[in-house]
Amino acid sequence: MLAVNGVFKTFNRGTVNEKTALHNVNLHLKEGDFVTLIGGNGAGKSTLLNCIAGLHEVDSGSILIDGKDVTKLPEHKRAGILGRVFQDPMEGTAANMWLEENMALAFRRGQRRTLKWGISGKERELYRTLLSRLELGLENRLNVKVGMLSGGQRQAVTLLMAILKRPKLLLLDEHTAALDPKTAAKVLALTEKFIGQEKLTTLMVIHNMRDAIRFGNRLIMMHEGRILLDIEGEAPSKSSPLRTCYSVSGRPAEPNLPMTASFCLEFFSRKTAGLFPSGGAGQKDDNQGKGKYCLPLPACAAMFHQSDCDKAAPAGG
């Protein structure tokens, strides 16, 4: 469904502010994949989504969606096959337009505009039915300006608008980061519900490690523009995220990462089939002749609260 092949992206090239945001990124999503993408600030997560969406043109490499090469396709021409929800609830909707008008814009995305009457009665009933899925009472507020809704309501509406035409690929860029915990949980529950019902291929950027483990069937970690870890398997139990992650089978995206944090090594390697070489922390593997490795400390530490790190850290680590 999605193929990102050898993508590089550098900003401010040739200046003192030059920054390589993506370095030889390779990512392939199968149809129906629900992938969570984590990493610290500046890891390249949003840049990757922006390149997939066409907001940024890549320096080299290719991007294919559903087998079609969209590398050179401008953003507006990808809108018909992509759905996207941004971090800021103010984005993705038109604040000064009615709720039903916003829904109509999403419903007509990718279609040629005509001079027909804007919203028919039948269409209005469809919007009421769709909005009722949010369970926020918005089906009775079609003539309210979206700018009058709360941040959580707007983000829920944006999510609904993004999936209205069942896109080939749904991109979620930390879409709960600006919400309070209770509202964020509600929006995430709606996200999981819609993706499951519509069987959407989804790439979701998220900062919270517990949520990254809980949602989806695959977890990817980025650091300094590279994919460091790619874990695929059954969704872990919700009861103890730090422990149940051990049972998820996966593979490292890059085979020669230095071990810089013993707690991170312990967290990701214990009981994880094929993820790390056998042998003790920091020791040589007698069978393979390779040392233990783990994620760089900034990439790992950014994912956990200090309490989580203390729990995961081995004694004396």
151-163 vs 121-132: helix crossing angle, rounded to 10: 120
Number of Cα atoms under 13 Å in the Cβ half of residue 238: 4
The structural domains of the chain, ordered by start, are 2-214 (3.40.50.300), 224-312 (no CATH)
pLDDT tens profile 243-266? 333 333 344 444 433 333 333 434
Query: How far apart, in whole angstroms, are the C-alpha atoms of residue 143 and residue 139?
Result: 10
Query: How far apart, in whole angstroms, are the C-alpha atoms of residue 110 and residue 278?
Result: 52
Question: Is residue 232 scored above 90 in pLDDT?
Answer: no
pLDDT tens profile 260-310? 333 343 444 433 333 333 333 333 333 333 333 344 444 454 444 433 444
Span of 134-143, 145-154, 295-304 with lowest mean pLDDT: 295-304
CA angle in degrees (0–180, nearest 5) for 46-57-21: 45
The answer to whether the beta carbons of residues 108 and 100 sit under 8 Å apart is: no
Please give the mean pLDDT across all residues of the chain: 77
Position 117 scores a pLDDT of: 63
- Burial of 59 per CB tally in 10 Å (0-12, 13-18, 19+): middle
Mean pLDDT of 38-61: 93
- Burial of 14 per CB tally in 10 Å (0-12, 13-18, 19+): exposed
Place of tokens 């926020």: 136
Q: DSSP strand E in 144-207: where?
A: 169-173, 202-205
- Closest by CA position to 290, among listed 246, 315, 312, 259: 259
Position 278 scores a pLDDT of: 36
The answer to whether the beta carbons of residues 240 and 256 sit under 8 Å apart is: no
Position 115 scores a pLDDT of: 60
Span of 2-6, 23-27, 248-252 with lowest mean pLDDT: 248-252
Question: Is residue 30 scored above 80 in pLDDT?
Answer: yes
- Closest by CA position to 268, among listed 3, 33, 25, 38: 38
List CB contacts of 179: < 8 A, sequence separation 6 or more. Answer: 89, 151, 152, 155, 187
Which tokens in the block code for residue 130?
Answer: 């769709």
Which tokens in the block code for residue 15?
Answer: 């200046």
